[in-house]
Amino acid sequence: MNTTTNLDPAKHHPMVGVPVDVLKPKRVRKEVNLTLWEKVYVFEILRGLYVTTKHFVVNMIGFVAPPKGKKRSVFTVYYPEERVTLPVAYRGRPVLVMRKDGTERCVACGLCEKICPASAISIVAGEREDLDRYPVSYTLDMSRCVYCGYCEEVCPKEAIVMSSEYEGLAERDRKNLRYSKDRLLRSEESVKDRIEYIRRIYSKWNY
């Protein structure tokens, strides 16, 4: 395979093809000139207290006079009898998306395995009779996962997404935190909202 490029090696990094000037570390301003208002820390402390008090008052009003049908006697949630409705942006356990025919979307390209900063993903690729690639085995070590979402962001097939699952993430035996492909597969319908969310937030970065 020919790996030569037309990029000037003096101006571009030989491995990633990015201009050298962009890769240079930026100088950080360590000597910041504070205004007189900022130097007198009493005013900054009062400003912080104002923000804290504002949130307290707003929450207290919502507790004393809540919207219709949302009256509560306590702030806490009676877990596990009650469950919190998590926002779609919540990053829980990564899961693999399964098609309606029961096959995984994943084509074992290895991008998620490569980009994972914790090296928590391990993939063994294979080919079906129709020459489609698929993961023979897909292992996710949740004891190492940092929930960064890089795997979700880099996947070209929307085959791995951050789910809203947060239970079962604490174990006494680390072996139980190694998830195989069968344990990770979830239907498209169950992660539909998350897929629509990542399409919306990542589409702005399309080049």
Q: What is the pLDDT along the chain (207 residues), one digit of tens a residue?
A: 444 445 555 554 444 455 656 556 666 666 778 788 777 888 889 989 999 999 888 878 777 777 676 666 666 788 888 888 889 999 999 999 999 998 999 999 999 999 999 999 999 999 988 888 999 999 999 999 999 999 999 999 999 999 999 988 888 998 999 999 999 999 999 999 999 999 888 875 554
Residue 11 falls within a domain, yes or no?
Answer: no
d(CA 85, CA 67): 17
Residue 126 falls within a domain, yes or no?
Answer: yes
> Do 102 and 167 lie in a common domain?
yes
> Do 63 and 120 lie in a common domain?
no
- Cβ-based burial of 133 (10 A; exposed 0-12, middle 13-18, buried ≥19): middle
> Do 56 and 118 lie in a common domain?
no
Residue 13 falls within a domain, yes or no?
Answer: no
CATH number for 186: 3.30.70.3270
Residue 115 three-state SS: helix
Residue 67 falls within a domain, yes or no?
Answer: yes
> Do 44 and 102 lie in a common domain?
no
Which spans in the chain are helix H? Answer: 20-23, 36-39, 41-64, 111-115, 150-154, 181-184, 192-202
Q: How many domains does the chain have?
A: 2
d(CA 181, CA 94): 11
Residue 121 falls within a domain, yes or no?
Answer: yes
Give the domain range for residue 54. 33-75
> Do 201 and 111 lie in a common domain?
yes
Q: Which residues contact 186 (CB under 8 A, 6 or more apart)?
A: 95, 96, 97, 98, 163
> Do 70 and 100 lie in a common domain?
no
> Do 64 and 137 lie in a common domain?
no
Note if the pTM is more than 0.75.
Answer: no
